[in-house]
Amino acid sequence: MPISADAPLLDVNGLASGYGKLRVLHGVDLTVRSGEIVALLGPNGAGKTTLLRAVSGLLPCDAGSVQFGGRALGNTGARETARAGIAHVIEGHRIFTQQTVADNLLLAAYDLPRGERASRIEEALSWFPEIAAKRHDRGSSLSGGQQQMLAVAQGLVRRPRLLMLDEPSAGLSPVLVDRVLGVVTRLRDTGTAVLLVEQLIEKAVAVADRVYALAQGLVVLEAPASTPDLAHQLERAYFGHREGGRTPAVLAPPT
């Protein structure tokens, strides 16, 4: 079913999820539009990773809905969400260290038509010249930053419509963080949407169009990244959510 031009690409409504009896997300609403970079911020344990897992079908959707490209995705499973065009780069840049860079990418391309795999691998490598030069080397020979680049490249092999990155900066030097986030900015120009979980608030806000803050499994702030005084708003949202009840603060774009 075609979706209207202004419908969000990803539309999460009232999503509840967690681990068995442990409910972590208590009704999360979040949207991402095509070509938009959305930063998902929040303190440790807020439920950011859990939200990405639920969207990508790794965790059940206990209540609410996940729509992607106008299609209901909740509880369809990880394989189906990947097919629909969502790539999820999980926390901690897990790659196959005993395999070469090229083979890691080939594994990510497993269900693409055979004749397209080589060109898709080259396309993904073109985002990261640094690891392209090491395509025949084992993953274990890459630095932490290069392993993170490879993990992102694995997501890009599939030409996702939405790339979800879970703390891509973790353990990286400031220069490498800028390199990875620079790719995120360039991806937006190709129309790819990005949902970026980050602890480095300033860096995330600098590349994002819009920001959500999550605390204790609830959205406590939604705001354009250009909001003046956003850092202060975020701090209040992180720590003040208990006083404010369950209604998130939604800041209007500056005029």
Residues that bind ligand ATP (CB under 6 A): 19, 22, 24, 42, 44-50
In 26-53, which positions are buried (b, 16+ CB within 10 angstroms) versus exposed (e)?
bebebbbbbbbbbbbbbeeebbbbbbbb
Which C-beta is closer to Mg ion: that of 49 or that of 146?
Answer: 49
Least separation in angstroms between residue 142's CB and Mg ion is 23
Task: For residues 157 and 216, give the distance between their C-alpha atoms in angstroms, rounded to a whole number.
Answer: 34
Least separation in angstroms between residue 86's CB and ligand ATP is 17
Cross-strand pairs, 10: 32, 68
Report yes or no: 47 and 25 within 8 Å, Cβ to Cβ. Answer: yes
Show the beta-strand stretches assigned E in 4-56. Answer: 10-19, 22-32, 37-41
Task: For residues 58 and 56, give the distance between their C-alpha atoms in angstroms, rounded to a whole number.
Answer: 6
Q: How many residues bind Mg ion (CB under 5 A)?
A: 2
Return the one option of ligand ATP, Mg ion, none that residue 67 interacts with (CB less than 5 to 8 A, by type): none
Task: For residues 198 and 186, give the distance between their C-alpha atoms in angstroms, rounded to a whole number.
Answer: 18
Residues 35-64 that bind Mg ion (CB under 5 A): 48-49
Least separation in angstroms between residue 25's CB and ligand ATP is 8
Least separation in angstroms between residue 52's CB and Mg ion is 8
> Rule CB under 5 A: is residue 17 a binding residue for Mg ion?
no
Least separation in angstroms between residue 68's CB and Mg ion is 21
> Tokens for 98?
């005993």
Return the one option of Mg ion, ligand ATP, none that residue 105 interacts with (CB less than 5 to 8 A, by type): none
Q: How does DSSP classify residue 247?
A: P
Return the one option of Mg ion, ligand ATP, none that residue 22 interacts with (CB less than 5 to 8 A, by type): ligand ATP
Return the one option of Mg ion, ligand ATP, none that residue 190 interacts with (CB less than 5 to 8 A, by type): none
- Name which of 152, 183, 161 is nearest 33 in CA terms: 161
Which C-beta is closer to ligand ATP: that of 42 or that of 155?
Answer: 42
Residue ranges in contact with Mg ion by CB under 5 A: 48-49
